[in-house]
Structures are given as C-alpha cells and as structure tokens.
A and B are shown apart, each in its own frame.
Chain A
Amino acid sequence: MTIQEIQEEIVDEFDMFEDWMQRYEYMIELGKSLPLIEEKYKTEDNIIKGCQSKVWVHAEMKDDKVVFTADSDAIITKGIIAILIRVFSGQHPTHIIDADTGFIDEIGLKEHLSPTRANGLVSMIKQIKMYAVAYQTQLN
C-alpha cells in the first residue's frame, strides 16, 4: 500500500470511534503491537529529543525501503509511534520525504502536534523524515 492509502485506512479506523476514550484505548492497543526495536539499538543516539517519555527509533534499509522499529517507556507514546511506523515503514525514502502528515489532524491527535505537548510527535516525524533523507542520499 502507498503511504496515502495507509493513512486513509487509519483515518477510516479512527472514524469508527465515538469518543476520545475509544480512540485512546485503540492507540494503547496499537502501542502493544509496535514493531519493537532491538535492545542493542536503544542507545542515546537513537533517543528522540523533545519527548517527555523516552522514544527510541531505529531505521534500516531493506531493498530500497526504509524499515523502522521503535520503543517508548510510555504506552500512549508507543501508540503514536506505532501509527507513524505503520504509515512510513517499508516505504521508499522519496515517498517518506514527500509524505503529508495531515491525517494526524483527521484522527483527532491534533493536540499532539502542538509544540507544547511533550510527547514529541513533531520530533518523531522529523526524525523519520531525516532517516529517509539520509537513505535517499545513499541511493543517489
């Protein structure tokens, strides 16, 4: 699936929920299914700055696609990063770089985009895109 298609799928899933509680319960579930980073990659370098909870993201290249794994010590943060990984992992670097992230607004997580929120959603997206830029440079 393309990034766009996955985003639409996620928006459809979140549309089913009637209130914030169901959305958050779903995110907590998603957090539990996050593709976990290997312990050896849980290094200081892989910690995303600007998060109140600890978030580690690791990226590697597999057949021209960037594959992400991650972890966090907070479960809601894990849910958020799980959504991002579902969207971006296994995609071509160019597509990751060009991707719009407006879907976050649509699934009712807009509040997490504010720079005052300490979960670092903005930093996570930035980090994911930076990995993509780095791999894109290698491909060129």
Chain B
Amino acid sequence: MQKEIDMFDVLKIREDFPILKREVNGKPLVYFDNAATSQTPQIVIDAIVDYYSNYNANIHRGVHTLSQEATDAYEIARKKIQEHFNAKHSHEIIMTSGTTHGINIVATGFTTLLSPGDEIIVSALEHHSNIVPWQMLCERTGAILKVIPMNEKGELVMNVYDQLLSEKTKLVFTNHISNALGTINPIEEIIEKAHKIGAAVLIDGAQSCPHIKPDVQSLDVDFYVASAHKLCGPTGVGLLYGKEEWLNKLPPYQGGGEMIDQVTFEKTTYAGLPHKFEAGTPNICGGIAFGVALDYMNSIGFDAIETYEKELLVYGTKKLEEIEGLKVYGTSKNKTSVISFNIGDIHPYDIGTIVDKLGIAVRTGHHCAQPIMDFYKIPGTIRASFSFYNTKEEIDALVEAVKKAKMMLS
C-alpha cells in the first residue's frame, strides 16, 4: 500500500486546482468541505471557457455549425457518463440539474404507479433531499413511508429492513454513502432483497461518486442519481440513471420544448428517452464540463483515490481523537473520508466560526440530515470531509485550529 501512496503525487495533483493556492483570512486555504462541493480543476474551468468562447449554442435543434458542435459535445458527455457508470444504454442517462432534481423526477413519476396503502422504504441516514420528495409522494398517493433505523455507529439496522419488506413495498431509496456521517451503506444487499419482493430501488449516489465508481449494471439498481459538483464538475448539473424499462414506465416530469414528439392542441406525444425527461434548454456547458470532470477523475483513478482517502481518514480520525473531549459521530468500519465530530458541549457553530478564521473550511450544522442529529440528540456536528487533493499537513492544521478553538471556547 505504501508504494501506491508514494505513486499518488498529491502535490502534483494540487497544481491542477487554482483555488487551492488562495488564502482565507490571511492563511492558506484548507478546504475540508468536499462533501458539500468539490473544487474544480483547471481542465474543467478551461472546458467551460472554451464552450462560451467558441461554440455556445442551443442543442438538438439548430442546423448551424455551432449548434451541431454543441450538440455533439453534449452527447459525448452523456456517453462518457454512461461509460463511467456502466449503463447499458446512453439514453438511460438523463441529464439533470443535480441529485435533488433526479430524485424529484422519480418521486413525481411514481405518483401514477402507487396506490393508497402501498409502502415505500427510506433509510434513517438520508439527506433531506431524499426524504421530502417521498413524503410529498405519500401525500399525493396515500402510500406509507417506512424507515430503516440506524444504530449508534451510524449504520443501518438491516434486520429491521428485512422485517419492513413485504408485498406492499413498492420502492426503496437510500443513499449509497451518508453525507453527515460518511457511512457506506450495504446497497448490494438492500437492492437484492428489494428485488426479491418486486420493489424498485433508487440509490442517491451524491456522496459515493466522488470516492468510488459505481457500476449500475452489476449493482442491478433501478435508479441511481448523482451531482457533478461533488465530482470536480460544475454546479447545477447531474444525472439520473434509470433502467430503460423503468424510465419508459414513468411519465414526463416537466412539459416543454425538447421533450415532445408531436404537439397539436388536441394531443401531444412525447419524445423517447432520454429527451422525455429533458424539457427546456439544459445546462449545456455544465453537461459538457461534467464529462471533462469525469475524464479528469478517471485519469487519477478511483482505486488510487480510494486508497489515498482512506489513508487521510485513518490519519485524521487518529489525530482528531487525540483531542480531549472530542467525539466522532459515525464510526462504522465502512466509511469514506468524512469525520463528523463535536467537542464536549461546545456548539459546532462556535468551532466552525473560529476555524474559519484560521483559513479552514469545514461544514457545521445538521448537514440537511436532521433525523440523524435527533438520533444523537445534538444540534449538529462539525464535518471535515477530505478529498484526494487534501494532505496530512492540512489535517494537522485542522487539528491545531480545533485545539485553538477549544481553548478559546472552553
């Protein structure tokens, strides 16, 4: 393993990210809010500039050269996404504005597929974006929401999941990795068991895609959603992968241009996949840049990323836990490079404010996962999330900053 780490030249990688050179409050920026948004390498910034400088045009409709070039680039990006996630067809990749959009397409679509008394299952570890759209679905259809509980380590209690599954279960949705705690959920098991009773499964991959490369065919997942901005891509773009058969079953989410076949005032027929779900002018530049970001991530390699980030997680956990009174939330053996913690009864907001003054970006609060905070009976946590461009020296700076904050606030 040591050899792999040596081969992973983090200092060289950092050169790819112009933002990592900046200072905050007179200190070198230490960016540990990667679980919220990853930073953008120059190659992706260049792709954005290139698009607006050279071939900015609307896609799929113009016959002129710029439109054709933009269309080609956008569809190449879709193809790259298909290959990255190993989808069977490129039309199974729906371009969205991000994970939340993807979930809402599916949750709205299921309105026509559920009946009162049907059950849908969520996990206790979800981001609000994977809770609220389903609650709204339940309100529309009379379906019932069931919850897979979590344990003290921040893991799902799988034997309760077994009990929740029944012939009434129509849909199961969980995240692949918890944003608040970093727990990697056993989605293979979740999917297999749901399929045995004929339920569909949606996996929220917002937090997993920056760390691991999911294979939607081998997972046999029905829907998988993710966002580009956590994968070194721009904000406002993401994907919904859906199995062809499922996407054909769901009605369109929005009406508009692009998603039609024929329109008359008597009747409109819809376009086929993927355009059925892509009404209106999409984030063309964002989509193209997303493709470039995936190329960039793959050029570094997800095996190398996973190994290096694990190293950072182990180091960071050890160093932080040396601080007296510090408690880490989310202690599963299966977790990514996210450390959620508190110190004694000091409010996370106070620590976050002080460490920001020292140039360190962490997230504080409930991380849009209030049920998890309620479980631990805390107002929130400080969350440091590491990416492959972070270093152990930066973790040392975080530890020093947290110690300083603790001293000031105790």
Contact = CB atoms under 8 A, between A and B. Distances in A.
Interface in A98-134: 118-119
Interface stretch (B61-69, B83-91, B130-138, B349-357): B349-357
A21 interface: yes
Query: Considering residues B346, B353, B379, B409, which has the most beta carbons from chain A within 10 angstroms of its beta carbon?
Result: B353
A54 interface: yes
Given A53-B379, A76-B353, A24 B347 contact: no
Contacts of B354: 24, 76
Contacts of A28: 408-409
A119 B349 contact: yes
A4 interface: no
A117 to B, nearest CB: 9
Contacts, number: 41
B364 interface: yes
Interface of B: 25, 346-347, 349-350, 353-354, 357, 364-365, 379-380, 408-409
Contacts of A73: 347, 379
B349 A118 contact: yes
B350 A74 contact: yes
B379 to A, nearest CB: 6
Interface of A: 20-21, 24-25, 28, 52-54, 73-77, 118-119
Contact of A20 (B349, B357, B365): B357
A119 B346 CA distance: 15
Given A76-B350, A77-B349, A118 B408 contact: no
A20 B408 CA distance: 12
11 contacts: A21-B357, A21-B408, A24-B353, A24-B357, A53-B347, A74-B349, A74-B350, A75-B346, A77-B347, A118-B349, A119-B349
A54 B350 contact: no
A74 B365 contact: no
B187 to A, nearest CB: 31
